[in-house]
Amino acid sequence: MVTAADPLTALLLTERLSDLELSAQQVAFDDMVEQSQSGRFDAVIAVPPLSLLDYTEGRWHEALVDVDQGLALAVLATPRVPVRAIAGVRPAGGGLALLDSTTPPSLWTVIASIRFAMTGRHTIDSAFTAYGEQKVLGGFSPAERLVYELLACGYSNRAIAEQLFLSERTVETHVRQIFMRLGLSEDASTNRRVLAARLALDGTAQVSSNRSR
């Protein structure tokens, strides 16, 4: 099964696999999870959107996590998108391959990765370790974690400052650092606070501190 944010990408990848006499079928994103549970496929190749905003608002993380655990899952993505988090919730036996799409792997590499994943093992490109673990999954200081938790709950900078007995300027500094660690660049069309909150609430960004336990 091949699913991509860009239907043309899915079509071209499906055709290339078919040219190699491999059975492949293009499936729309909205049908990916259901079709993965149909018993008709051995593997899923997914190509998420390049934009963190599209990945988050499109609920790609949730869908990839819900792909049938008995299938091999190969994800071709940019390291800026936090697909590394999938490995943490995909159990032993649920084969996974995370491939860096910014340096496009050959079709043979994709096929080899799928076959390896079909044995129940994980293959994770080093690019996802560099971006995912440090920028998205963790790396927050204790103070940043406290600020991030309140931000995720909808607190304004002023309210966070009052809760933590900090100056508002200090909170602003922490918030900028949090955005940087998450790879959220300043963009007039993007509400970074909403995106950051979404990443925290769905578990993609691990920010739980002792304060909330």
pLDDT digits (tens, 9 = 90+) for 2-35: 999 999 999 999 998 888 878 899 999 999 999 9
Nearest C-alpha neighbor of 85 from the set 66, 65, 108: 65
Q: What is the DSSP secondary-structure string of 114-178? A: HHHHTTT-EEE-HHHIIIIIIIII----HHHHHHHHHHHTT--HHHHHHHHT--HHHHHHHHHHH
Give the pLDDT score at 119. 84
- Residue 208: band (very low, low, confident or very high) from pLDDT cuts 50, 70, 90: low
Same domain, 182 and 82: no
Same domain, 183 and 106: no
Same domain, 151 and 103: no
Tell me the pLDDT tens digit for each residue of 47-61: 999 888 888 888 999
Same domain, 6 and 71: yes
Same domain, 118 and 20: yes
Tell me the pLDDT tens digit for each residue of 102-146: 887 788 888 888 888 888 888 888 787 654 443 344 567 788 888
Give residue 152's domain range.
Answer: 138-212
**Alpha-carbon distances, residue 57 vs 51, 102, 110, 180, 196 (angstroms):** 10, 22, 27, 19, 12
Number of domains in the chain: 2
Same domain, 78 and 143: no
Q: Is the dihedral of CA 122, 126, 129, 132 positive or negative?
A: negative
Q: Check: CB of residue 183 under 8 Å from CB of residue 52.
A: yes
